[in-house]
Amino acid sequence: MTIYAIDINNHKISAAMKILGIDPSELIQLSYDDFYERNADEDIQKLRYDHYIKKLNDTVKLIKNKIKESRGWSLDKVSKETKFHIFSPEPLNKSFNFEKLKEKHKEIICNALNDYEREIQARENKEKKLKKAWNIKEKLQEKEIKLRKSKLNKFVDVQKRNIEDIKRKEQNSLLEALKSESSSPVIRKSPDSLLGSRKINSVNGRRSDTKLLKTKSGDISEEEIEEQLTSIYKKIEKSKGMHDELINRKKSQISRKHSEINVKKFENSDLEAIETAIKLISRHKKATERRAQSAMKQQEARNLSKRKYFERFTLAQEKLKEKDDEIMKNLENFEKKAQSLQKLLETKKAAKHKNLELKVELHRLKTRDTQTNRERHKRIMLAKRDHILGKQHESRKRIKAMRSELESSITTKRANARKVMIEKEKMHEILAIVSNHPESRLAKQRIKEMSIQLARPTSDLELTNSDNPLDITEDQAYQKNVSYTKSF
């Protein structure tokens, strides 16, 4: 069931709607839920409902005002109309002039509608240009955001690389220092012992080189560095123990050889050889003492260098940690700022998108209103044309009726005049006969044949035809004719 805002079946309301060109579909009552759409927002729904209610109220006011105006016109007509309408050929000319004016009005209305369409097209073109500019602006903003993000990522990557390079440099310097410390002290050795030590150093060097390559290949944490340092120290201690064992073995071998040589020399040589051997042994002892002292000094120097290195290493690690913390804080702050900016941009985008949707919806509703107004104007023009045509048709009918009445009256008058003339001629003939022969039988026969009643003579000599003729005797008619002839 369709519910209307006003009772359409009322005669006055329907007449006002016809005059204003309002269609009944414009007065249908709709609820808020009827404007719901799946993808539309609540703001658009509210806008549509408000626009619909405003339009409905305006149409109802128009109809009510039109009814009031029609009441006023009816009162004016009742008070003013005191003249009688008389037929004249002037209304035909007036209707002809009105048709000409109607065509002019049509041209004016068409021109106004064309101008309004041009204005709408110009507005649409402006809105299209604004949309294009807005899209270009959004694209530029997106490009700027992407560039900022790429720059940020590059900055982060560069900082990470710098940190990794610093760590690698420090690791390399640490390993080089360990290599320099782990190198054997300067000791006079036999060629066999030198060969053995060179082999051991070459093997250790290869292992350390392989480990360095492994460490350079990937990122190393602080725990791994400490583990590597402990393993290196253990290896250094083991190499020192092995080195001391080899030296002791060589010393025992040399002492054995010297003892055997001395025994043979004591047996086969003089006391001078014994003295030389004693001198050599004393020199060897002094050399061993010097070597031990130099080894102690070198060990102390190494310990000092290790302590200094560890102090530097700890300071460098603390500085690196502080730098890492600062970089991470800066990155977190930058990310927070970027997120806040992104949220602001998204909110602005959403707000602008909503405003655009509302503007588009308003434009669509306005175009619909213009279409309804055009249709109303068309209906008004058609109603006026029908009203004018109806009036013309009524006037033509009235003119035809009046013409037919005039023609019928003229024909009746002509017929009556002819009858009167014929009767007059007959009367003249009878009078002529009676005047010549007063007692003639012809006149009496004619009077009998006609059986007419002589009316009283008027000033215009006109006789009125009576539907029921009076019966007159022959003598009375004869006497009247005689008296009428005597009057001449």
- What are the tens digits of pLDDT across the range 28-49? 878 887 777 766 778 888 888 8
Pairwise CA distance, residues 52 & 62, whole Å: 15
Which pair of tokens denotes residue 428?
């003249």
State both tokens at 367. 């175009």
Angle between helices 90-182 and 271-436 (to 10 degrees): 180
Q: Any idea where the domains of the chain sit in the sequence?
A: 1-76, 89-161, 419-487
Q: Give the count of beta carbons closer than 10 Å to the beta carbon of residue 92.
A: 13
Q: Are 106 and 381 in contact (CB under 8 A)?
A: yes
* Tens digit of each residue's pLDDT (9 = 90 or more) over 343-381: 888 888 888 888 888 888 888 888 888 888 888 888 888
Dist CA 188 CA 288 (whole Å) = 10
Nearest to 224 by CA among 157, 307, 167: 167
How far is Cα of residue 16 from the mean position of the Cα atoms in its chain? Answer: 40
Nearest alpha-carbon partner for 355 in 36, 43, 40? 43
On whether the CB atoms of residues 371 and 182 are closer than 8 A, the answer is: no
d(CA 209, CA 178): 12
Burial 408-443 (b: 16+ CB within 10 A, else e): eeeeeeeeeeeebeebeeebeebbebbeeeeeeeeb
**385 residue type, one letter:** R
Does the global pTM surpass 0.85?
A: no
pLDDT at site 10: 85
pLDDT tens by residue, 172-182: 777 777 666 55
State which amino acid sits at residue 397: K
Q: What does the alpha-carbon distance between residue 204 and residue 237 come to, in Å, rounded to a whole number? A: 13
- Helix 90-182 vs helix 191-217: angle between axes, to the nearest 10 degrees? 170
CA proximity to 473, closest of 442, 448, 437, 446: 448
Please give the span between the terminal C-alpha atoms of the chain, in angstroms, as a whole number: 93
pLDDT of 62 > 80? The answer is: yes
Nearest to 445 by CA among 424, 476, 485, 474: 474
The H-or-E segment that residue 80 falls in is helix 42-80
pLDDT in tens, 319-352: 888 888 888 888 888 788 888 888 888 888 888 8
Residue 433 has pLDDT above 50, yes or no: yes
Query: Which CA distances in Å does 483 have to 214, 442, 453, 457?
Result: 172, 18, 15, 13
Tokens 């021109």 sit on residue: 111
Tell which wins on pLDDT, 408 or 129.
408
CB within 8 Å of 251: residues ≥ 6 apart: 288
Q: Give the model's pLDDT for residue 203.
A: 44
Listed residue (357, 18, 334) closest to 153, CA to CA: 334
Among 84-88, 138-142, 378-382, which is the least confidently predicted range? Answer: 84-88
